[in-house]
Chains A and B, each alone.
Chain A
Amino acid sequence: MEELIKRYEYEIIANDFDIAGSTSSSIKRNLKSIGVDPSIVRKVAIVSYEAEINIIIHSKGGKMCLEIYKDKLTIRAHDNGPGISNIDLAMSEGFSTATNEAREFGFGAGMGLPNMKKYSDNFNITSSSEGTNIDIDIYMD
């Protein structure tokens, strides 16, 4: 088990478009301030932003964590449901169940989960009616 250097936890509120992205913005600033390589910061920012937006537009709310280890960064996104009925379908590029409101904010391209997977070194997703859990590792080098 790798030693955890630091852990940040953030509450994400469903349907709150006004502050959507503020958590990812904080995560990005935190990583920049400790001198993480900009290209790594960008990858983390993208997966974090996609995860944050997903919780806001699709769930009843949830939490996100940033864990900093010596060799990797881990983003954990957990929401309180209703869950994804078909993960394989949700993982396919272009598939979206975004609402009209979410679309007005520029979402609904159906690229959220595919982007998260694309930019992560390890990507794990589980989902039930209780909620969806996503764990993403991005290595430092």
Chain B
Amino acid sequence: MKVSEIKDLLSAEIHSGDHLMSKEIIGAYASDLMSDVLASIYLDDKAVLVSGLNNTQLIRTAEMLDLSVIVMVRGKKPHPEVIEMARENGMALLTTNLNMYNSCGLLYSKGVKGFSNGRID
């Protein structure tokens, strides 16, 4: 699924990374706890990170894992420094008013499966 389709599916707003709109995403990982995300080393740049965390550590975590697409859920308005860091790292940062459960449910229903231990479940 393309990032632009994720944007439409989740009625999301895009804050950075317009150049990634045609990027293909094959899997997802969702968590508010960054060490849980970091435990999934095999997430790669074809994964979207779904999180309700609204601070720079969200971007740092994505950076460490080479992730380039992030969806911030629950109607969070990203802090300016978060948007700036996403931009610096060439990442697409999207926000949606949907909560995490519904965001993930919609993505799953369209074939975006979860990453776990290096596999797509």
Residues of A within 8 A of B (CB): 17-18, 20-21, 24-25, 28, 38, 42-43, 45-46, 49-50, 104-112, 114-115, 118-119
Contacts and interface: CB of A to CB of B under 8 A. Distances in A.
Contact of A46 (B51, B53, B57, B64): B64
Contacts of B41: 42-43, 46, 119
A109 B61 CA distance: 14
B33 A28 contact: no
Nearest to A38: B66
B33 A108 contact: yes
B109 interface: no
B39 interface: yes
A50 B63 CA distance: 13
B55 A49 contact: no
Interface of B: 32-36, 38-39, 41, 51, 53, 55-58, 60-61, 63-66
Contact of B34 (A106, A114, A119): A106
Contacts of B57: 17, 20-21, 105-107
Contacts of A18: 56
Q: Is the interface of A mostly helix, strand, loop or mixed?
A: helix
Contacts of B63: 21, 25, 28, 45
A27 to B, nearest CB: 10
The residue among B36, B57, B63 with the most chain A CB atoms within 10 A of its own CB is B57
A115 B35 contact: yes
A42 B65 contact: yes
Given A109-B33, A109-B35, A46 B55 contact: no
Contact of B60 (A24, A112, A115): A24
Nearest to B45: A38
Given A20-B57, A43-B41, A118-B39, A109 B64 contact: no
B64 A24 contact: yes
B38 A111 contact: yes
